[in-house]
Copies of this chain bind each other. A is one copy, B any other.
Amino acid sequence: MKKIPFPVIQRLSYVFEIINKLEENGIGKISSSELGGYLGQTAHTIRKDIHFLGIAGTPGTKYEIADLRRLLIDHLGFGEPKRCCIVGLGRLGEALLEQLLAIPQDAFAVVAGFDSNINRLETIRTSIELFPAYRIEKTVRKLQIELALIAVLPQQAQEAADRCCDGGVRGILNFTPAVIKPKRKGVFVRAVDVSGELRILAALAYTSTANE
């Protein structure tokens, strides 16, 4: 199987999100140009992307959403819900938990939360199981958690990530300003860097006007 380039993975992930919503609304077919509209891309790009999954439709007809969905599940692993945990249940961690539980999606299941402050664990009311931080490794392994959201203090971010790696997660989403390096090979890290994003926005706005 040929490796799928990252930008393609990015777009196809979004395509999956879109067709799921459309399917809920009872829509059964969609064209590459329609998808392009949702993504802000051309129909060419979409077709090329889909082509990485193999043949998905027949010329002259739109794509069957069910077929697309099946291909995306097979090639990108969007099958059974991925088990996630949230490490750090401060304001941010709680907000993330709320957001993820609010969206009715079968793609992700938040199955555990961790915090180093025991008192904190007792004050939070939620449907998921909560554990003290020292039990991250064992719990991650036991519950077969694949993805971890890190929302602790920046100073504790690397340690939290290390414990998740030890437990066997496959991906880490880092919400702290600290840089996290995966302890094991095969663990992917992505960062949600608020001030970094702001800086990029500022630079985009500046360079777009400075050029005139």
Q: Give a binary string over A170-212; 1 marks a CB under 8 Å from any B CB, 0 the rest.
A: 1111000101000000101010101111111111111111110
> Chain B contacts of A90 at CB under 8 A?
95
Closest to A108 in B: B198
A77 at the interface (CB under 8 A from B): yes
Given A107-B195, A198-B147, A199-B16, A170 and B96 contact (CB-CB distance below 8 Å): no
- What range describes how many residues of A lie at the interface? 35 or more
A91 at the interface (CB under 8 A from B): yes
A17 at the interface (CB under 8 A from B): yes
Query: Which residues 14-73 of A sit at the B interface, judged by CB distance below 8 A?
Result: 14, 16-17, 38
A9 at the interface (CB under 8 A from B): yes
Query: Which residues 111-157 of A sit at the B interface, judged by CB distance below 8 A?
Result: 146-147, 149
**Residue pair A205, B177 in contact (C-beta under 8 Å):** no
**Residue pair B94, A200 in contact (C-beta under 8 Å):** no
Q: Indicate which residue in B96, B201, B208 contacts A190 across the interface (CB closer than 8 Å).
A: B201
> Chain B contacts of A208 at CB under 8 A?
186, 188
Q: Indicate which residue in B1, B75, B107, B171 contacts A204 across the interface (CB closer than 8 Å).
A: B171
Would you mind naming 20 contact pairs between A and B with Cβ atoms under 8 Å apart? A13-B199, A17-B199, A38-B179, A75-B210, A78-B203, A84-B198, A90-B95, A91-B91, A91-B98, A95-B95, A100-B195, A103-B195, A149-B194, A171-B205, A172-B201, A173-B198, A188-B204, A190-B200, A190-B201, A192-B197
